[in-house]
Amino acid sequence: MTETATTTASLNKFEKLKAEKDGLAVKTEIEKFASSGWEAMDETDRDHRLKWVGVFFRPVTPGKFMMRMRIPNGILTSNQMRVLASVVQRYGDDGNADITSRQNIQLRGIRIEDLPDIFNKLSAVGLTSIQSGMDNVRNITGDPLAGLDADELFDTRELVQQIQDMITSNGVGNPEFSNLPRKFNIAITGGRDNSVHAEINDLAFVPAFKNSAEYPVLTFGFNILVGGFFSAKRCEAAIPLNAWVQPEDVVAVCRAILEVYRDRGLRANRQKSRLMWLIDEWGVEKFRSEVEKQLGQPLLSATEQDEINWEKRDHIGVYKQKQFGLNYVGLHIPVGRLYADDMFELARLAEVYGSSEIRLTVEQNIIIPNIPDSKLATFLTENLLTKFKTQPEPLTRSLVSCTGSQFCNFALIETKNRALEMIKALEAELKLTRPVRIHWTGCPNSCGQPQVADIGLMGTKARKNGKAVEGVDIYMGGKVGTEAHLGTCVTKGVPCEDLQPVLRSLLIEHFGARLQRSSHHN
């Protein structure tokens, strides 16, 4: 029983709207919305409840909606990519797609009148956008190299799909989990390099071998981390639950944790509703024992050490797979932005050269796996690879950016285009010997994860000559991979127009960059 049922009068706006009508209810009203048009819709349905089916009203571009998919483990087929391409293609200049920082795809330009047709097309190829926004579990991330990497400890693909199926009732929508106190992020990693940023998820499973009295033979499983999150108010890395599970118990543990969060999570203040706030209130010991009660069995204690002991890889470039004679190729997609033509072409390349499979990374890039040695050289001559490079420049290579003010009304600054221009300008004046991970995010919500970056840039309003101008707070020290930890704010309120020399100095002082000869200032 959730608190919403008990104290409706005192509920905040979002709890109230959920208590009045479950978000998933709009699923049966799509035809009605399509024929009445977006302007005639009830505002709460339009601005909020539609997010339960993955459709986001964009106040910046009214009438042109965004659709957030679910792409479990970031894996899709060429056919699925073609369907997504055909959806955005019909919107001409308004239509495009973004690869997100959760290994997912968002489509833009969507018209409400087309939703019935779009949903039919998506379900025909096994795609869903259900429960991808508001108080639901977000896209579940897994290793982008699952099943390809000779050094992987566990192939996460099936587990990620099973968790998504449990949470969404196989993609049709599940009212059991459609009213959480807030959003909820889940990640599973089966490799050694923490390719999913486990530490910034509400619930994460990281590989760990058990060797104990109960498990005399070295047994594979996962240590569980809980409570990681970013918000405008507070950012925390996940903490150990002191629990270890075998793969076959992961889905049940996810369910138990979600049930505890759903039924006991804090709902009064939306700024304090993410899982970590409940863990703070209870202490991790009590949280653990409530999870055990819900699960109906005790949890085993965590192993002392997990198996995350590699630096994080970015997967850009050409690499051998564990399958003899096959390769995966990571393509750099500048700030994750795709257009219909790109998407059709990626689908074709994956089909002609690979196994019709396309993978997404949390760095907003693409991997095409299963390319035989015999086809590799020709693949690398394809035209699209001049745009989506296998060997981008070192700063471009690691650039990540959230949506920003082009489409997001929370944004305090423009991000994606500015990020690309800034990187180009810096690369023209600097020589770098290694990639530097620069992440842009348009506001303190931190969708672009500045806290995991070498240099994180968070949009803010700055002042220059007495005037308000677009600016950034600068974060540094984010460490990913083994011993990941969050970076912190080092400088506040740098006007964007003055940022280039500031970044230039940081790159020279901290990351070994040198001025190109032509840009030495006298």
- Crossing angle of the two packed helices 275-282 and 284-295, in degrees rounded to 10: 110
Cα gap 522→515, rounded to integer Å: 12
* Site for ligand SF4 contains 367 (CB under 6 A): no
* Structural contact between residues 58 and 68, judged by C-beta atoms closer than 8 angstroms: no
* Site for ligand SRM contains 407 (CB under 6 A): yes
* Site for ligand SRM contains 437 (CB under 6 A): no
404 binds, among ligand SF4, ligand SRM, none (CB under 5 to 8 A by kind): ligand SF4
* Site for ligand SRM contains 223 (CB under 6 A): no
| Shortest separation between residue 306's beta carbon and ligand SF4, angstroms | 29
Residues 143-202 that bind ligand SRM (CB under 6 A): 182-183, 185, 200
Nearest to 354 by CA among 85, 72, 78: 78
Q: Is the dihedral of CA 329, 220, 170, 115 positive or negative?
A: negative
Interface residue with ligand SRM among 198, 343, 408, 474 (CB under 6 A) is 408
Q: Return the ∠ at Cα 365 (arms to 343 and 202), rounded to 5°.
A: 120
Name the residue with tokens 């009213």.
179
| Shortest separation between residue 88's beta carbon and ligand SF4, angstroms | 19
| Shortest separation between residue 156's beta carbon and ligand SRM, angstroms | 16
Catalytic residues: 68, 182-183, 442, 447-448
Q: Smaller CB distance to ligand SRM: residue 194 or 370?
A: 194
Interface residue with ligand SF4 among 72, 191, 265, 442 (CB under 6 A) is 442
* Structural contact between residues 71 and 357, judged by C-beta atoms closer than 8 angstroms: no
* Site for ligand SRM contains 129 (CB under 6 A): no
Residues ≥6 apart with Cβ < 8 Å to 406: 60, 414, 415, 416, 417
Residues 447-476 that bind ligand SF4 (CB under 6 A): 447-448
Q: What is the DSSP string of 116-174?
A: HHHHHHHHHTT-B-TT-SSSSB-PPB--TTTTT-TT-S---HHHHHHHHHHHHTTTT--
Distances from the Cα of 480 to the Cα of 78, 134, 198, 437, 487, angstroms = 31, 27, 9, 10, 10
| Shortest separation between residue 407's beta carbon and ligand SF4, angstroms | 8
Q: Smaller CB distance to ligand SF4: residue 133 or 190?
A: 133
| Shortest separation between residue 292's beta carbon and ligand SRM, angstroms | 25
Q: Smaller CB distance to ligand SF4: residue 408 or 474?
A: 408
* Site for ligand SRM contains 446 (CB under 6 A): yes
Q: Smaller CB distance to ligand SRM: residue 68 or 267?
A: 68
* Site for ligand SRM contains 361 (CB under 6 A): no
| Torsion angle of C-alpha atoms 249, 252, 257, 258, degrees rounded to 10 | 140
**Which region among 127-135, 269-277, 444-452, 513-521 touches ligand SF4 (by CB under 6 A)?**
444-452
Residue nearest to ligand SF4 (CB): 442
174 binds, among ligand SRM, ligand SF4, none (CB under 5 to 8 A by kind): none
* Site for ligand SRM contains 139 (CB under 6 A): yes
Residues 480-499 that bind ligand SRM (CB under 6 A): none
| Shortest separation between residue 207's beta carbon and ligand SRM, angstroms | 20
Cα gap 268→225, rounded to integer Å: 25
* Structural contact between residues 187 and 137, judged by C-beta atoms closer than 8 angstroms: no
* Structural contact between residues 183 and 135, judged by C-beta atoms closer than 8 angstroms: yes
Q: Smaller CB distance to ligand SRM: residue 98 or 342?
A: 98
Distances from the Cα of 90 to the Cα of 31, 35, 82, 339, 460, angstroms = 19, 19, 13, 11, 35
Cα gap 351→240, rounded to integer Å: 42
* Site for ligand SRM contains 66 (CB under 6 A): yes
Q: Is the dihedral of CA 292, 295, 299, 305 positive or negative?
A: negative
In the DSSP assignment, the letter for residue 184 is B
Q: Smaller CB distance to ligand SF4: residue 152 or 202?
A: 202
x/- mask, ligand SF4, residues 379-418, rule CB under 6 A, reads: -----------------------xxx---x-xx-------
* Structural contact between residues 15 and 4, judged by C-beta atoms closer than 8 angstroms: yes
Q: Is the dihedral of CA 371, 145, 333, 75 positive or negative?
A: positive
By the criterion CB under 6 A, which residues form the site for ligand SRM? 56, 58, 66, 68, 98, 100-102, 104, 106, 138-139, 182-183, 185, 200, 229-232, 274, 402-403, 407-410, 445-447, 449
By the criterion CB under 6 A, which residues form the site for ligand SF4? 402-404, 408, 410-411, 441-443, 445-448
